[in-house]
Structure 1
Amino acid sequence: MSTAMPFDLDATLVTAVTAAVENAGVTLRERYTTEARGVSLTEVVGEIHANDDAVLAVLREPLLAARPRSQWAEDELEGGALPPGEWWVVDPAEGNINHVHGMPDWAVTATLVRDNQPILTVVHLPLTGDTYTATAAGGAHLNGRPLTVSAKDDLGAALIGTGQARPGESTDTFRRIGESVTAMLTAGLVVRVSVPATLQLIHVAAGRMDAFWQFSDVRSGLVAGALLVAEAGGTVTDLDGKPWTAASRDFLAAAPGLHAAALEVLSRI
């Protein structure tokens, strides 16, 4: 993906977006319990929607105000290209399924996408207080400290991740996920299969994990991590090796020394 510096991104905007996302994180944290909520599918889905509604009530307007003339991508599970211009792609509870099951792996994310390229992102983890930020050609940071991807160049030594993007994917997608996990278990050291994507991609950006792939175009789970990894020095493409954009059908983010080897394994699936 390209990260040419947008001329009109500045520290004031990053500060405003960070404040809005961190404030929304307070709302999501207050709704959290270590007990699972919901038994039936209807109850679980209801809890998920309630989380989304509560967070968006305090997040949407500050983001739109911070970037006049920006637009809002309504459905967080949608994929594919966005119309021209600037769009907020937000996940008010990234890892919502974990949140409602009493697990700690969830976050609030907000990413400004211009012409299908992420140009600014903030990912906040309310339980730890950690905030990841990135701007196009401005670097990636954790709590203000620069991030750098892994220096590994041996796929056999790599910790690699994947996961499903949403319930109800096609049977063919589920088949590809299974076959790709088998292939990567053979080629790599350890494979993590978990959700959400963003919480694996922040580890790739920080050099804790070495690569992440996904057979999906759900943009809200990928745009934040794509920018963080790219700005931390990683390589982000689709599984044909072409630069990734929000219009891409699939996704690979990796340390540059591993990307070609990972792509070779996955392109066969």
Structure 2
Amino acid sequence: MSDEYAAVLPEVVAAVHAAGDRLREEFASTRAPLTRDGVYDAIHRIDQKSLAVLRPRLAQARPGAGWVEDELDDGPLPAGEWWVIDPAEGAINHVQGIREWATSATLVRDNEPVLTVVYVPLEDATYTATRGHGAFHNGTRLRVSAKTEFRAALVGTGQASPRESTETFELIGRTLAAMMGAAGLTRSAVPSTLQLIHVAAARMDLFWQHSAVRSGLLAGALLVQEAGGTVTAIDGQPWSLHSRDFLAAAPGVHEAAVDLLMTSLADSPMPAR
């Protein structure tokens, strides 16, 4: 990574902190809405509050970078630099009064994440990574788990978006059941970024997902890779923004995870990818 990305990192940290602190101010007074429309309205409101802080600061930090408007979008981006933002990672948790939420910003260059910052305000925890220069938690370098025994592994997955199809739910069900029978313990939660942070920090051993939502994967993919983890598609092939699914794991359990996931999908009437 060139010095230009190292130079911009403090500006991104400041921007993500400012947005996260803005959301923390009102978290204590959050009361869960009682209707679906009320939930969506509340999520939109906190997203906009965070974006109002993030967007001008990030535009100033990297004036030539594009901006991804839809945080639930997937697929490859045009060439060049793009900001992929989740203004309220786990916004549903914030709205429901659950503490597991964050703010994040990832700079992508030619479809590769090169810099990311994830801030978890209620833990005063900042996670950063720049390509080729490691991943860090509050300045301390992260390393993935050295675990090799799959029966001892803590693994996780989750529903990436309310837009998921019945076919995706079928795939999740098949692989979740397989993991529950083979791993030490299996969890399903949102947001995916926070589970990927646990993988990077060796608190969890792997995470998989049947979805390609960019904002939920790019930050965590870079953090896990820079912490020494293995990031692929579920079939073990290299992961990219063209992939339709995702697997991030400690190297010692990655191969077993691929075998298990692909076996669980082998008799599925729907494609695994």
TM tier, shorter chain? over 0.9
Report the secondary structure of 1:222's partner residue: helix
1:61 offset after TM fit, Å? 1.1
Superposition misfits of 4+ residues, deviation over 4 angstroms: none
Q: CA deviation at 1:135?
A: 0.4
Q: Deviation digits for residues 206-243 of structure 1, max 9, x if unmatched?
A: 00000000000000000000000000000000112122
Question: Which residue is 2:223 aligned to?
Answer: 228
Q: CA offsets per residue over residues 93-112 of structure 1, 9 Å max, x none? A: 00000000000000000000
Distance 1:155 1:167, change over 3 A: same
Q: What residue ranges of structure 2 are gaps of 5+ in the alignment?
A: 266-273
> In the alignment, does 2:117 pair up with 1:122?
yes
Q: Give the stretch that moved more between structures: 57-66 or 209-218.
A: 57-66
Map of 2:169 onto structure 1: 174
2: CA distance between counterparts of 1:83 and 1:12?
Answer: 24
Say whether the 8 Å CA contact 2:5–2:115 is kept in structure 1. Answer: no
2:32 aligned partner: 37
Amino acid at match of 2:186: V
Letter of the structure 1 residue corresponding to residue 218 of structure 2: V
1:262 aligns with 2:260: no
The Cα shift of 1:34 comes to 6.1
State yes or no: 1:183 paired with 2:183. Answer: no
CA distance in 1, matches of 2:96, 2:158: 17
Query: 1:111: which partner in 2?
Result: 106
Q: Do the aligned partners of 1:96 and 1:106 also contact (CA within 8 Å) in 2?
A: yes
SS at match of 2:33: coil
Q: Distance in 2 between matches of 1:114 and 1:241?
A: 23
Report if the CA contact (8 A) 1:34-1:101 is conserved.
no
**Distance in structure 1 (CA, Å) of the matches to 2:36 and 2:28:** 19
Q: TM-score, normalized by length of structure 2?
A: 0.94
Structure 1: unaligned runs, 5 residues or longer: 1-5
Q: TM-score, normalised by structure 1?
A: 0.96
| RMSD of aligned alpha carbons | 1.1
Which residue does 1:7 correspond to in 2? 2
Q: Is the 8 A contact 2:12 2:117 kept in 1?
A: yes
1:103 match: secondary structure: coil
- 1:28 and 2:23 matched: yes
Aligned pairs for 1:137-176 (under 5 A) are 137-176=132-171
Which position in structure 1 is the counterpart of 2:271? none
Percent identity of the aligned residues?
57
Are 1:82 and 1:247, in contact at CA under 8 Å, matched by a contact in 2?
no
* Bigger RCO of structures 1 and 2 (CA < 8 A, at least 6 apart): 1
Instruction: Tell me the CA shift for residue 35 of structure 1.
Output: 4.5
Please give the alpha-carbon distance, in whole angstroms, between the structure 1 residues aligned to 2:154 and 2:71: 28
Structure with bigger helix share is 2
2:240 is equivalent to residue 245 of structure 1:
yes
Q: Which residue of 1 aligns with 2:84?
A: 89
Aligned pair count reads 264
**Which of 34, 43, 68 in structure 2 is aligned with 1:73?**
68
Deviation, 1:154, is 1.3
